[in-house]
Amino acid sequence: MAFGVRLECWGEWACFTRPEMKVERVSYDAMTPSAARGVLEAVYWKPEIRWVVDRITVLRPIRFTSLRRNELAEKIPEGTARKVMKAGTGVLQQVITDDRQQRAALLLRDVRYLIEAHFDILSGPENAAKHLDQFQRRARRGECFTRPYFGCREFAAHFRLLEHDDHLPLPHNTLLGERDLGWMLHDLEFSDPKNRQARFFRATMRDGVIEIPVLGEAFA
């Protein structure tokens, strides 16, 4: 953790969808490690590094709300997209009014989290200080490659960097104690590109803090 970072993020809505819900979207009680990694990568991403989330702190009370949302019933087939890319011309479009369906979603509202993470060097020179400096400069300025989001792209996330001398924000008093969050998606393991595996772990929140195990140690 010599090169660890702390990023506070918050937003009005969030939906960290449980994969076992096949039709309607139902969010986990808290941010998943893969969603936290996505926020970090939106701020700073390089192919030479991979972000590793160490812990997630839930800062605001866990509040759910039900909402009906419009979604596309289908997506453009991969074969069609490849055909148009190869030809250099063609039609790739979907009209929402022709292919719309309403789905109920159980969302989180008024969320705020503290992400503590570090990164591993995958390739290239072992210049961790350079990557750390670039991430910190971008986070201080509020810069990002893409807008961070909480589960769904329409649920935008705001963020700020916490320096090492900043006081850590405290969880709401309703989050004190121990709470079993059940099986939670950790991340996708890409050790075999042709056989990506979803990894899950038993998430426990203690005084608002969720400790994240190493990906290789998470259960399948």
Q: Give domain status of residue 158, yes or no.
A: yes
Residue 185 has pLDDT above 70, yes or no: yes
The residue segments making up the domain with residue 112 are 5-69+104-215
* Pairing mode of beta strands 25-26, 209-211: unpaired
Q: Give domain status of residue 96, yes or no.
A: no
Residue 12 has pLDDT above 50, yes or no: yes
Q: Give domain status of residue 208, yes or no.
A: yes
Q: Give domain status of residue 93, yes or no.
A: no
Least confident range of 3-12, 71-80, 115-124, 198-207 = 71-80
pLDDT tens, residue by residue, 41-65: 999 999 999 999 999 999 999 999 9
pLDDT tens, residue by residue, 127-181: 888 999 999 999 999 999 999 999 999 999 999 999 988 888 999 999 999 999 9
Nearest to residue 5, comparing CAs of 186, 112, 137? 137
Q: Hey, what are 96's tokens?
A: 């929402």
Cα–Cα distance measured from residue 46 to residue 215, given in angstroms and rounded to the nearest whole number: 20
Residue 65 belongs to a domain with what CATH number? 3.30.70.2660
Other CB atoms within a 10 A radius of the CB of residue 203 amount to 23
Q: Give domain status of residue 13, yes or no.
A: yes
Q: Give domain status of residue 94, yes or no.
A: no
Mean pLDDT for 22-32 is: 90
Q: Please give the model's pTM, rounded to 2 decimal places.
A: 0.86
Position with higher pLDDT, 196 vs 82: 82
Cα–Cα distance measured from residue 18 to residue 27, given in angstroms and rounded to the nearest whole number: 6
Residue 28 has pLDDT above 60, yes or no: yes
Mean pLDDT for 23-49 is: 94
Q: How many structural domains does the chain have?
A: 1
Band the pLDDT of 218: cuts 50, 70, 90: low
